[in-house]
Amino acid sequence: MISDCGFRIADCGKKIGYAGRLCASALLLVVMLSGCAEKGPILLAVSYQPSGEQASPKKITVGVSPFRDARGVAVSVVGKRTIPSGLKNELVVQGTAAEIATASLKQALVSRGIAVKDAAGWDLTAEGMMARGTALVLGGEIKTLWLESTASPVKTHLQVGVQLKIVAGDPSEKKIIRTIDVSSKLDQDVLYSREKLEQALSEALSSAIDQIFKDEELKKIL
């Protein structure tokens, strides 16, 4: 009788232990899901990712004029995140999207061994060009710089689009040398994290900027 009672107590203990672990797992899942619902804008750190291309053999200085933002959205907003509940968060950068694009172009030039000099704001016309002491001045316009993050219960779908208009000019002769459009897209499923969003947007922006150095006319100069 005592032995049978002991078995019952042990069995009851096992059931209680299983129920406790089940409750703990459920509680952990609730905490994880609630953690996915962030409040307010989500701040992303976006930067240029060097491609590893060899440095330019030419020793020139390029003036870089701040990019202009023609997207028609708030200057610091670079996307939107939506979760299954319908909650939406804006994706933003510190400063402005134009500053991120300008800094990325500078980093792309420096990584290739090209000296960079800050140039004044430029309206991208020959008449408005001001960059003395440089062999070339680069400016541009952001047409698209946007990340859509859409979450489902098991994954997050990312869609990134970057479109830039790049204008290159000769400041000594006050003439436009080249106007090109570069673009990049990224479409992938990931497990959500803020780092994944930052990586996707940085990758797309870097890919678009790297196309500048593949243009035959600019390659002759750079």
Question: pLDDT tens-digit profile of 156-165?
Answer: 999 999 999 9
Give pLDDT, residue 26. Answer: 42
Provide the pLDDT for residue 197.
98
Length of the chain: 222
Question: Which tokens sit at 209?
Answer: 């900027």
Q: How sure is the predictor about 222, in pLDDT bands with cuts at 50, 70 and 90? A: confident
Query: DSSP 3-state helix, strand, coil percentages of the chain (rounded to 5)?
Result: 35, 30, 35
Average pLDDT estimate for 127-136 = 84
Do 33 and 88 contact (CB within 8 A), yes or no? Answer: no
Which amino acid, residue 146? W
Q: Is 67 exposed, middle or buried (0-12, 13-18, 19+ CB in 10 A)?
A: buried
Contact (Cβ atoms closer than 8 angstroms) between residue 186 and residue 160: yes
Task: State what percent of residues in the chain have pLDDT above 70.
Answer: 82
Q: How far is CA 111 from CA 48, 49, 146, in A?
A: 10, 10, 25
At residue 204 the predicted structure's pLDDT band, cuts being 50, 70 and 90, is very high
Average pLDDT of the segment spanning 187-210: 97
pLDDT for residue 21: 54
| Nearest alpha carbon to residue 47 among 117, 130, 104, 89 | 104
Quick one: tokens of 47? 């930067």
Q: Which of 17-21, 70-74, 135-139 has the lowest mean pLDDT?
A: 17-21
